[in-house]
Structure 1
Amino acid sequence: MMFSVAAIGVNTFGFSYANAETIVKIGTAGPLTGSSAQSGKDDERGVQLAINELNSRKLVIAGQPVKFQLVSVDDQGDPKVGVNVAQKLVDDGVAAVIGHYNSGVSIPAARIYNDAHVVMITGASSNPQLTKLGFPYVYRLATNDNVMGGRIADYSAKVLNYKRAAVVDDRTAYGAGVADVFLRTAEKNGMTIVSREYSTDKTTDFKGILTHIKAQNPQVVFYGGYYTQAAMLARQMVDLGVNAILVGGDGICSPEFSRLSNNVLDNKMFCAQGGAPLDSLPDGKNFRSKFKSTFSADVDTYAPAFYAATLLVADAMQKANSTSPEAYSKVMREQSFTSMLGPVKFDDQGDWVDAPVTVYKLSGGNLTPLQAK
């Protein structure tokens, strides 16, 4: 713990005293390089904005003024790198980690944090396996794949009334998980899965996969993976004349999808994303404005969740009157919180109870909310 002279006061005997400032390190980890760097930077900015606000409040915890300090690391979206940077954050003495972005990174990194008794709370990683690990220091302020994959399958079958779907996933923990849920739910809804195909999170050429899919005449192509590869898939769908809509989970639900795909699937791409639409939240438009003025950039996808997660951790510290994870993590498990995203209560596995999810449609190059629950 670091101390510095932060304030001067006078005690009852008239002597001046120095009130020491406690530095609380907050880690954030995500892909700051590579194909998902836009998302990683967006998440980091959400955490930084929250820390700026916390420091402006000049909080006092356990009788000490507290200053929060960001420690950001690049996990490259790679599980092995993620474990290494998780250990680095632990060694740096962080009190909490807001991250990671990718489920495939969060799952192995979670053990590092839990063993060190450091709180980890992700605003994005959606694979259900993360919280099924049963780690008491791990939390998810996001909707899991069981909800998102199921919701977009329900929408495809019950609202759009499609009957035939092809499924492609990138074999990551996230992509495979959300694809499996879509497939199971689609079949329960009476849809026929005409093809199940596999790529990787680095695939750029989908023509072989799409040639096989086209012969099966699907109405829907579900892609389990992230927006960079999904955009390439979309462009190649059009090139090869695959006459189907593209659907997916939150991994493809990014404004970057439209730009990278040249918007070739306008009105033909649908995705499910955790949370309510930002502009529908009471403080959503204000958050968007503050984000833009601070970073000269627009909100991408999960900055609001990473922002809210950071503030929630600080709120738990205040309620526990301690910056020790052993103390404030118990508060996170037991109490309810008010956040920009809405009411938050965690279940006994660390999942957000009744986490909302919204279906979006790409329209006019923008993601337009259609259905929220």
Structure 2
Amino acid sequence: MPSTITTAPLLLAAALLSHAALAQEQPVRIGLSGPLTGANAFAGKDNENGVRLAVEDLNAQKIKAGGKVLRFELQSEDDQGDPKAGVNVAQKFADAGVKFVLGPYNSGVAIPASRVYDSAGILMSTVGTNPKITQSRYPNVFRIVASDTQVGASMASYAARELKIKTVAVIDDRSAFGQGIADEFARQARASGLSVAGREFTSDKSSDFATILTTLRAKKVDAIFFGGYAPQGAPMARQMIQLGMSGVRLLGGDTLCSPEMANLGGDAVGANVLCAQAGAMLDKQAGGAAFKAKYKARFKRDPDVYAPAFYDQTMFIGQAIKNAGAVDAAAVGRALHGTSYQGVAGTYGYDPSGNLKKTAVTVYTFKGGQLAPLASY
């Protein structure tokens, strides 16, 4: 009985101390906008995991601003990869007073959402690759990977120089991302001396490409570039083999550089599939292996395409807050523009439009269901 009497005041004192400590912390909400449901949910969850890991690491640093220790909190919202839903998410973040948003994942969502974020004074960091995203030169919109111009051009150059491809066809899914990267690939392909034998269109909901592929088979193309996402790219690879096009390579951008391609495509996804992804080879970066190990220990799976970039940009925002001594988005944006950050996937530094000043692009294929790097540009 005496121990109960003694313990109760101690528990009360501990609770009061904990409450006082929390009262002296300033919450900083980091918003995540991405496709958390639907065909691209695997990518949305991967992006979310990258931000979550960074939020945990930032909280361990006990960063201060305005004399208070900051407590970073993640608020995730499902934009469904849909422009209208993405704008609604942006407005929800604005109404909630969120000042920093990671995402959207899809270019078609990022373009209209960026206008809302700019009007609300919110700092947006996206992996949307369509060049239009940064052409408005909003001061607090950042593209944290290479653009379609860089990725599409690198894939075209590799196809011409290394694969010795002569004739190529182009398919896109009519999304802002798919059309953008397909246009850039086609432009650079022609500049590299390739013949573009056909341009076909599908949708980001399709799963049957037999008619399109039969048309392109008749044109005797050496390769097909697909501007679209893995949930369509994988069945396309399968159907190419079923139609006797096993010798025709399937090329794509960063969205095909995903384990989901192998998961969905199985044996049909191998050396016949090549893709170009923004960033240098993660395994060859100083912090790459450690990040992959940390990610797998925390989430029981390997990181997908963009988890490293989402992690790095969240950490960069934390550094910028520390440098600015404030959590004001405009001040943090100026700090991001005025400095650089060495992340696990490379060095981040932005030009006045919000594009990376310098970024590598790596071309990959698949071996045994895993991405295998071929070259970096």
Which interval holds the TM-score relative to the shorter structure?
Answer: over 0.9
- Residue in structure 1 matching 2:252, options 222, 230, 248: 248
Partner Cα distance (1:253, 1:336) in 2: 26
Superposed CA offset, 1:307-328 (max 9, x none) = 0010011111110000011211
The reply to whether residue 112 of structure 1 matches residue 107 of structure 2 is: no
Distance 1:195 1:248 in 2: 16
Matched letter for residue 231 of structure 2? T
- Structure 2 residue 143 is matched with structure 1 residue 140: yes
CA contact (8 A) 2:362 2:374 kept: yes
Q: Is 1:306 aligned to residue 310 of structure 2?
A: yes
**In the alignment, is the contact (CA less than 8 A) between 2:170 and 2:226 conserved in 1?**
yes
Partner of 1:332: 336
SS of equivalent to 2:304:
coil
Q: Does 1:68 align with 2:76?
A: no
Contact 2:234-2:269 at 8 Å conserved across structures: no
Q: Hey, what's the Cα distance between the residues in 2 that align with 1:231 and 1:159?
A: 24
- Indicate the SS of the match to 2:301: coil
What is the distance in 1 between the residues matched to 2:313 and 2:68? 23
Corresponding residue pairs, total: 361
Q: Which runs of 5+ in 1 are unaligned?
A: 10-17
Match of 1:232 in 2: 235
Q: What is the deviation of 1:8?
A: 6.4
CA–CA distance in 2 between the matches of 1:53 and 1:152?
Answer: 35
User: Are residue 208 (structure 1) and residue 245 (structure 2) matched?
Assistant: no
Alignment partner, residue 185 of structure 2: 182
Give the C-alpha shift of residue 339 in structure 1.
Answer: 2.0
Q: Indicate if the aligned counterparts of 1:19 and 1:65 stay in contact, CA closer than 8 A.
A: no
1:211-238 deviation per Cα after TM superposition (whole angstroms, max 9, x unaligned):
1011000000100000110001111111
For 2:91 and 2:267, locate their aligned partners in 1 and report how far apart those are by CA, in whole Å.
40
Q: TM-score, normalised by structure 1?
A: 0.94
Does the residue aligned with 1:256 lie in a helix, a strand or coil? helix
Divergent runs of 4+, >4 A = 4-9
CA displacement 1:59-99 (0-9 Å, x = unmatched): 21121111000000001011111000111111111120011
Match of 1:12 in 2: none
Shift in Å, 1:354: 1.2
Match for residue 13 of structure 1? none
Whole-Å separation in 2 of the counterparts to 1:145 and 1:314: 27
335 and 5 in structure 1: CA distance in 2 versus 1, 3 angstrom threshold: farther
Q: Which of 319, 322, 325 lines up with 1:321 in the alignment?
A: 325
Does the Cα contact within 8 Å between 1:231 and 1:258 map onto a contact in 2? yes
2:349 is aligned to 345
1:160 aligned partner: 163
Q: Which residue of 2 aligns with 1:293?
A: 297
Post-superposition CA distance 1:184-204 (Å, at most 9, x none): 111111111111100000011
d(CA) in 2 for partners of 1:248, 1:20:
50
Q: Is the Cα contact below 8 Å between 1:222 and 1:246 reproduced in 2?
A: yes
Would you say 1:191 and 2:211 are equivalent positions?
A: no
* Partners of 1:58 and 1:333 in 2: CA distance: 24
Q: Provide the identity percentage.
A: 42
Which SS does the other structure have where 2:33 is aligned? strand
Equivalent residues of 2:145, 2:279 under 8 A apart: yes
SS of equivalent to 1:263: helix
Given that 2:261 and 2:269 are in contact with CA atoms closer than 8 Å, whether structure 1 keeps it comes out as no
Is the contact between residue 7 and residue 19 of structure 1 (CA under 8 Å) also seen in structure 2? yes
The answer as to 2:338 corresponding to 1:364 is no
How much does 1:265 deviate? 3.5
Aligned to 2:57: 53
Instruction: Say whether residues 1:37 and 2:41 are aligned partners.
Output: yes
- Pair 249,160 (structure 1): closer, same or farther in 2 beyond 3 Å: same
Contact kept? 2:274, 2:366, Cα under 8 Å: yes
Is there any run of 5+ residues in structure 2 with no aligned partner, and where?
1-15
The structure with the greater share of residues assigned to helix is 2
Partner of 1:149: 152
SS in 1 for 2:347: strand
Contact 1:5/1:20 (CA < 8 Å) preserved in 2? Answer: no
1:14 aligns to what? none
| Residues 364 and 374 in structure 2, CA contact (< 8 A), matched pair in contact too | yes
Two-structure CA RMSD over aligned residues (Å): 1.5
